[in-house]
Amino acid sequence: MSTTIDANVVTRLNQGGPSGRDASQSAELRNNFMTLLIAQMQNQDPLDPMDNHEMTTQLAQINTVSGIEDLNKTLKGITSQMDAGQTLQATGLIGKGVLVPGDRVLMETDADGNTHTTPFGIELGQAADNVRVTITNASGQVVNRYNIGSVKAGVESFTWDGRTTEGEAAAPGSYRVRVEATSGDKTLNASTLNYAVVGGVTPPDGNGGVKLDLGAIYGQVGLGDIKQIL
């Protein structure tokens, strides 16, 4: 017998994936499918009955869709648990200092007249024989330039002493840091990292993972952007 279940039902079952349907719609489509299958079996020609392979294929289609829906529900539950775990983990960073991609160094003076600068970091793919640091002001003028020496691969944090090349205290404000890493005569890829304090956590909203609030200057970053916790 060549007649098959209404193709529209199968198409509706597969169209858009399980995420595009709610439970009542899926149940309705499955019921329609089974109703048509039973009607087909009842009205088939006794001399030319439905082929077993054909019927098995049609049953497999509906079972596959049901199985995918159940799998998606399970994955959704797992994802929710992972998101909750990440959010809980991220809340432990509130109030802590972190290094994230960036090149900013902030300098301020306390009530006693002492100057303080925020740390900065360097991320290297391989060890460097020497790393040269250049500090510039908001106008792009070089304030200080000095060598750190050898730095191993990975992430390392450093602190500028807040002084100019002449040894004088630099004015409070925001500065930029640039690094040049070398190994012998070879220039290495080096990324600069700036310091920020985690002020809050934003749970996943469906368009991304957990976000850490680093304030008005640095905005929000993901957990993957945290290179070091200080």
Phi-psi sector, 219: left (phi>0), alpha (psi -120 to 50), beta = left
H/E segment holding residue 176: strand 173-183
Q: What fold, for 101-194? A: Immunoglobulin-like (2.60.40)
CA distance 42 to 31: 16
Print pLDDT tens along the chain (230 aa). 444 444 554 455 455 454 445 556 666 666 776 677 677 666 665 555 555 566 667 666 666 666 666 666 766 666 666 666 678 778 888 999 999 999 999 998 888 878 889 999 999 999 999 999 999 999 999 999 999 999 999 999 999 999 999 999 899 999 999 999 999 999 999 999 999 999 999 888 766 788 899 988 889 998 889 999 99
Q: What was the pLDDT predicted at 229?
A: 93
- Domain range summary for the chain, segments of one domain joined by +: 7-85, 101-194
Tens digit of pLDDT for each residue in 167-210?
998 999 999 999 999 999 999 999 999 999 999 998 887 667 88
Give pTM, 2 decimals: 0.63
CA distance 204 to 84: 9
